[in-house]
Amino acid sequence: HVHIYLLDDQKEYLVLSGGAGEIGKIMVTYGHKININAPQSLVALCARTHELVIVNDVTKTPNYLPNRFLPKTASELAIPMIVAGQLIGVFDVQSEQYDYFN
């Protein structure tokens, strides 16, 4: 599953702006967003640190935020999207396979 989160104008929320497949469409329609200060979110961690986050087993990290639309997520990759030194969002990829990003 692939998602694009964009940082809102107030720099408080990462708003899901695009997602692959039917689940992505549902999540966008639902208005899915993540508070940038959420302690339990790999997407938010990526946004705060401006660094790549790779977790090959989400059950082994306290930073993983379970998503009811993607209950089988096993691995996650979050990439900060930075333009001219400013965070504009996060590109997020989730897999149902453990160690997918090795």
Read off the pLDDT of residues 51-65 as tens digits, 9 standing for 90 and up.
999 999 999 999 998
| Domain residue spans of the chain | 2-95
pLDDT tier for residue 87 given thresholds of 50, 70 and 90: very high
- C-alpha 84/C-alpha 20 separation (Å) is 27
CATH of 2-95, one of 3.30.160.270, 3.30.450.40, 3.50.50.60, 2.60.120.260: 3.30.450.40
Tokens 């990003």, located at residue? 101
- For the chain, counts of helices (H) and of strands (E): 2, 6
* pTM flag (> 0.95): no
